[in-house]
Amino acid sequence: MELRSKRVQIILIICIVSLVSCFKQYKGRISIDGSSSVYPITEAVAEEFRNKHDDIRVTVGVSGTGGGFKKFARGETDISNASRPITESEIKACTENNIGFIEIPVAYDGLAVVINPANEFIDYLTVEELKKMWEPAAQNKITSWKQVRATFPDVPLSLYGAGTSSGTYDYFTEAIVGKARSSRGDYTASEDDNVLVQGVSTDKGGLGFFGLAYFKENKTKLKLVGIDAGKGKGPIYPTDSTVRTGTYAPLSRPEFIYIKAQSANSPVVREFISFYLENAATLVKEIGYVPLPDEVYKLSYERFLKKKLGSMFVNKSTVGADLIKLMKENQ
Amino acid sequence: MRRYSYTRAKLTDRAFKYVALSFTAFALGVLVVLLIDIFSKGIARINWDFFRNLPSRHAEKSGIMTALAGMLSLLFFTIIIALPIGILAGIYLQEYGKKNRLAKLIEINISNLAGVPSVIYGILGLTLFVRILKLGNSLIAGALTLGLLILPIIIVTTREAIRAVPDSLREASYGMGATKWQTTSKVVFPFALGGILTGIILAVSRAIGETAPLLVIGALVYVPFIPEGPRDQFTTLPIQIFNWTTRPQAAFIVNAAAGIIVLLLITFLLNGIAIYIRNKWYKKIRY
């Protein structure tokens, strides 16, 4: 018995030693968290970055834009992914903890409004009509497509959209209803866009919204709806070019990363951001988002090097914002 | 009259048998459909590279190495934390503790804790381990949270296993002049060990599938590194699977199915070990 327990001890020690010796020395760590819409971009960058610098640990979490900012304000992360600009209360939380941040836009994303492919009566929708179905007053009242437009048949209307904790919801409500975080509550909400795809594709009177990338992967199951912003341009479909030029208004939105000012001094983070902005255009395209104009990436890098703190969107909406102009004003 | 009620009882008997049979068939049927669905989608994806690759945005290149390593290290620490506390608490409550109203209250509370939704443990872990103890979203914070989660299960099964030890054994031991400690450590504990181990393995198989509390305490999604120590950030297989199912590309669903197969196999393996230990132990002990 004595001998056996000694043998067990020796085996245990060997195991522990061999485990410990597997561990590598890392030059630095970068911890990133935040929006699930920006996640694919940052993940792609981190993956490519690792191929070049496998001694720098980059980890990415998905806590949602708001959840990410909460951690960011506590100083727990170096970079926060965000699908909307930081809000005033979040800025306040950062200031209280002495966290400064650099705001950098990394991509455009078009929010696709989709319906069931069997739906023949919808040719396009206006922003007014979208507002009519989504505003808080529509709750339990607007339940049929006939109420949206008189020429539509009396088909039950069912809505699918992002959950209230996501930046996508914030943006959509701000762009359509006119006030962020205000909408009817009786719609199918999910943080998982595949659930929304599934819902709209099996519901004849369904309408949903989510990032263009999810439509691109599910083209056969869904039908895209053109949006008429009421500016005389007629209905416009989200494509790479209409999203980039902002013609697909008001549902093209910029996606951001926020970098902690203290972390921006670290050579590891500098390396990562420089890599991010150099490769963003290619990678963003690859994963189905729309790259920003090259000039914006250049301006962003300058902004990062200069450590220009603060948000460009204080008291300003991202809906219809001209990024190049805004960034030049804010350099 | 009597004859009538006899046939009626027989009829009821037979009817109940078929109703029970059809419910069992339904439950098994659902399970079979699920398994066939998962296996047909994922089995072709499982190869050596799937185990060896890092997470990736390309579904075909993506693998579970770091998720699997994260999950196994998490379980390792969870067991180290929950095992001694759970077993000792169980032994104390059953062998040493006084059987008064307080003991009864504690017993009821422990049983209740075993039924608390896991996400509640996540919130507790977030406040206590991540924030107050400043452990961050580390392996050790995750392990402590999961440890709390499975602690009631271990305590309850330990108590049950000890309760099953016949009193005649204890009395015989005392009769030989053994002390309480000698009786507990040399007679009661070895006899109950089979049951205790089974309980532990079942508790661990529960911990393996947990996602909600880990997401709450801030387990990450993209972790291309194997954790180096207890203070390191981590991801686990269920989180990886969850992330894959939310991707727009259909190829990730195949990955998710393959990941689920691996997870199922590990759970089956653990349950198999539990049954094996139980059978072996009960054969071995003959007084």
Hey, where are the domains in chain A?
A: 24-107+255-329, 110-245
Neighbouring residues of A128: CB distance < 8 A, sequence distance ≥ 6: A230
Beta bridge partner(s), residue A224: A114
Which amino acid is located at B251 in the chain?
A
Taking the CA of residue A187 and the nearest CA in chain B, the distance in Å comes to: 20
Residues of chain B positioned with their CB less than 8 A from the CB of A44: 57
Q: Is B57 within 8 Å of A44 when comparing Cβ atoms? A: yes
Residues of chain A positioned with their CB less than 8 A from the CB of B137: 61, 76
Neighbouring residues of A77: CB distance < 8 A, sequence distance ≥ 6: A31, A32, A33, A34, A61, A68, A71, A260
pLDDT band of B4, cuts 50, 70, 90 = low
B63 in the same domain as B14: no
Out of A20-34, A94-108, B194-208, least confident range: A20-34
Mean pLDDT across B208-215: 89
Q: pLDDT digit string (tens) for B220-278?
A: 889 998 888 888 899 999 999 999 998 888 899 999 999 999 999 999 998 898 888 88
Grouping H, G, I as helix, E, B as strand and the rest as coil, residue A330 is coil
B36 in the same domain as B58: no
Residues of chain A positioned with their CB less than 8 A from the CB of B249: 217
Q: Is A47 within 8 Å of B249 when comparing Cβ atoms? A: no
Whether the upstream peptide bond of residue A250 has omega within 30° of 0, thus cis, is yes
* B123 touches A at CB < 8 Å: no
DSSP classification of residue A136: G
Out of A7-16, A205-214, B107-116, B252-261, least confident range: A7-16
Q: Are the C-beta atoms of A161 and A75 separated by less than 8 Å?
A: no
Distance CA B70, CA B215 (A): 14
Phi, psi (rounded to 5 degrees) for B116? -70, 135
* Closest to B83 measured CA to CA, from B207, B188, B216, B175: B207
- Which of B221, B229, B249 shows the shortest C-beta gap to A60? B221
* A68 touches B at CB < 8 Å: no
Q: Which residue of A has its CA nearest to B251?
A: A217
* A114 touches B at CB < 8 Å: no
Q: Which residue of A has its CA nearest to B224?
A: A59
The pLDDT score that the predictor gives to residue A26 is 77
Out of A41-45, A197-201, A327-331, least confident range: A327-331
Residue B90: count other Cβ atoms within 10 Å of its Cβ: 25
DSSP chain B: -HHHHHHHHHHHHHHHHHHHHHHHHHHHHHHHHHHHHHHHHHGGG-SHHHHHPPP-SSGGG---HHHHHHHHHHHHHHHHHHHHHHHHHHHIIIIIS--SHHHHHHHHHHHHHTTS-HHHHHHHHIIIIIIIS---SBHHHHHHHHHHHHHHHHHHHHHHHHHTS-HHHHHHHHHTT--HHHIIIIIIHHHHHHHHHHHHHHHHHHHHT--HHHHHHT--SB--S---STTSB---HHHHHHHHHTSSSTHHHHHHHHHHHHHHHHHHHHHHHHHHHHHHHHHH---
Q: Is B222 within 8 Å of A44 when comparing Cβ atoms? A: no
* A59 touches B at CB < 8 Å: yes
Is it the case that residue A265 has pLDDT exceeding 60? yes
pLDDT band of A23, cuts 50, 70, 90 = low
* A43 touches B at CB < 8 Å: yes
The pLDDT score that the predictor gives to residue A198 is 92
* B136 touches A at CB < 8 Å: yes
Phi, psi (rounded to 5 degrees) for A159? -110, 145
The pLDDT score that the predictor gives to residue A15 is 61
Residues of chain B positioned with their CB less than 8 A from the CB of A288: 248
Taking the CA of residue B248 and the nearest CA in chain A, the distance in Å comes to: 5
B57 in the same domain as B31: no
Mean pLDDT across B178-185: 92
DSSP classification of residue A230: S
- Which of A60, A193, A214 shows the shortest C-beta gap to B222? A60
Taking the CA of residue B82 and the nearest CA in chain A, the distance in Å comes to: 20
B25 in the same domain as B89: no
B201 in the same domain as B159: yes
* Closest to A70 measured CA to CA, from A87, A58, A53: A87
pLDDT band of B3, cuts 50, 70, 90 = low
Distance CA A187, CA B156 (A): 43
B96 in the same domain as B12: no
Taking the CA of residue B54 and the nearest CA in chain A, the distance in Å comes to: 9
Distance CA B98, CA B105 (A): 12
Residue of B53, B57, B65 to mutate for A, most A C-beta atoms under 10 A: B57
Taking the CA of residue A315 and the nearest CA in chain B, the distance in Å comes to: 31
The pLDDT score that the predictor gives to residue A1 is 44
Buried b (16+ CB within 10 A) or exposed e, B136-153: bbbbbbbbbbbbbbbbbb
Structural domain including B14 reads 2-45
Is it the case that residue A70 has pLDDT exceeding 80? yes
Name the strand (E) or helix (H) holding A105: strand A101-115
- Which of A44, A61, A192 shows the shortest C-beta gap to B220? A61
Q: Are the C-beta atoms of B213 and B119 separated by less than 8 Å?
A: yes
H-state helical runs in chain A: 2-22, 39-52, 64-73, 88-96, 127-134, 145-148, 167-176, 193-201, 212-217, 240-245, 267-286, 294-306, 323-329
* Closest to B156 measured CA to CA, from B96, B202, B119: B202
More reliable by pLDDT, A311 or B286: A311
CATH number at residue B256: 1.10.3720.10
Tell me the pLDDT of chain A averaged across its residues: 89
The pLDDT score that the predictor gives to residue B114 is 87
* A95 touches B at CB < 8 Å: no
B87 in the same domain as B32: no
The pLDDT score that the predictor gives to residue A5 is 64
Grouping H, G, I as helix, E, B as strand and the rest as coil, residue A30 is strand
Is it the case that residue B106 has pLDDT exceeding 70? yes
* Closest to A235 measured CA to CA, from A328, A125, A320: A125
The pLDDT score that the predictor gives to residue A288 is 87
Q: What percent of chain B has pLDDT over 90?
A: 65
Estimate to the nearest angstrom the gap between the alpha carbon of A302 and the chain centroid.
Answer: 23
> In chain B, positions 236-275, which contact chain A (CB-CB < 8 Å)?
243, 245-250
B107 in the same domain as B34: no
Name the strand (E) or helix (H) holding A101: strand A101-115
Domains: count for chain B: 2
The pLDDT score that the predictor gives to residue A13 is 64
Estimate to the nearest angstrom the gap between the alpha carbon of A180 and the chain centroid.
Answer: 16
* B212 touches A at CB < 8 Å: no
Degrees to nearest 5, angle at CA B66 with B31 and A278: 120
B93 in the same domain as B156: yes
Q: Which two tokens stand for residue B203?
A: 């508790």
Cα dist. A67→A82, B206, B222 in Å?
A: 10, 27, 17
- Which of B54, B219, B233 shows the shortest C-beta gap to A31? B233
Mean pLDDT across B92-106: 88
Q: Number of Cβ pairs closer than 8 Å across A and B?
A: 76
Q: Is B248 within 8 Å of A216 when comparing Cβ atoms? A: yes
Q: Which two tokens stand for residue B230?
A: 């207890």
The pLDDT score that the predictor gives to residue A3 is 53
Estimate to the nearest angstrom the gap between the alpha carbon of A289 and the chain centroid.
Answer: 10
Q: What percent of chain A has pLDDT over 70?
A: 92
Q: Is A287 within 8 Å of B220 when comparing Cβ atoms? A: no
B39 in the same domain as B78: no
Q: Which residue of B has its CA nearest to A68?
A: B218
Q: Is A47 within 8 Å of B224 when comparing Cβ atoms? A: yes
B148 in the same domain as B63: yes
Grouping H, G, I as helix, E, B as strand and the rest as coil, residue A109 is strand
CATH class of A24-107+255-329: alpha beta
* A37 touches B at CB < 8 Å: no
Q: pLDDT digit string (tens) for B111-139?
A: 899 889 999 999 999 999 999 999 988 99
Q: Is A194 within 8 Å of B245 when comparing Cβ atoms? A: yes
Domains A24-107+255-329 and A110-245 share a fold: yes
Q: Is B248 within 8 Å of A217 when comparing Cβ atoms? A: yes
Q: Which residue of B has its CA nearest to A23?
A: B228
Phi, psi (rounded to 5 degrees) for B135? -85, -15
* B178 touches A at CB < 8 Å: no
B265 in the same domain as B235: yes
Q: Which two tokens stand for residue B65?
A: 């190495």
pLDDT band of A247, cuts 50, 70, 90 = confident
Q: Which residue of A has its CA nearest to B250?
A: A217
Mean pLDDT across B29-51: 93
ipTM above 0.85, yes or no: no
- Which of B222, B226, B228 shows the shortest C-beta gap to A59? B222
Residues of chain A positioned with their CB less than 8 A from the CB of B243: 62
Q: Domain A110-245: what homologous superfamily?
A: Periplasmic binding protein-like II (3.40.190.10)
**Residue B19: how many CA atoms within 13 Å on its side-chain side?**
6
The pLDDT score that the predictor gives to residue A22 is 52
Distance CA B135, CA A18 (A): 26
Q: pTM here?
A: 0.84
More reliable by pLDDT, B287 or A207: A207
Q: Are the C-beta atoms of A80 and A33 separated by less than 8 Å?
A: yes
